[in-house]
């Protein structure tokens, strides 16, 4: 997975509960971006993390890859790439303006790129 960071330095703010995020996706063959329809808080993330069956392994990857994996933005099968980009948007609590945080490109695997 390749992570493209648009707004660096937000992880501490997320972990303090100052911001929330949502995810949208865009298929590689379509210019239309679609919202996945969920706004996620620090508490939601911690709950999802605590119930994950491979919790020790999830800490081997960086925070951006953790989020992408936990929220279903990684490749679904070994050596089988997804056909979408997943953009994570952030906003401060009690505000309405969403800003790009980072984009996950699961089809850009480094080890098992399809030919």
Is residue 7 a contact partner of residue 21, using CB atoms and an 8 Å limit?
A: no
pLDDT at residue 78, as a whole number: 60
Q: How far apart are CA 29 and CA 62, in angstroms?
A: 28
Which structure tokens are listed for 107? 């089809």
- The mean pLDDT of 67-82, rounded to a whole number, is 74
Residue 76 pLDDT = 64
Using pLDDT thresholds of 50, 70 and 90, give the confidence band for residue 56: confident
Q: Which residues are paired to 103 by β-bridges?
A: 4, 87
Given a cut of 70, is residue 72 above it in pLDDT?
yes
| Higher pLDDT, residue 55 or 39 | 39
* pLDDT score recorded for residue 105: 87
Q: Beta strands 99-105 and 2-5: pairing type?
A: antiparallel
């Amino acid at each position: 997975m390749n992570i493209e960071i648009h707004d660096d330095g937000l992880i501490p703010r997320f972990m303090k509960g100052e911001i929330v995020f949502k995810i949208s996706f865009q298929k590689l063959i379509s210019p239309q971006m679609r919202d996945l329809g969920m706004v996620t808080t620090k508490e939601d993330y911690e709950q999802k993390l605590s119930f994950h069956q491979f919790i020790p392994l999830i800490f081997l990857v960086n925070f951006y890859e953790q989020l992408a994996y936990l929220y279903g933005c990684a490749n679904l099968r070994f050596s089988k790439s997804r056909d979408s980009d997943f953009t994570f948007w952030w906003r401060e609590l009690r505000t309405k303006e969403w800003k790009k945080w980072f984009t996950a490109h699961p089809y850009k695997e480094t080890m098992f790129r399809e030919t």
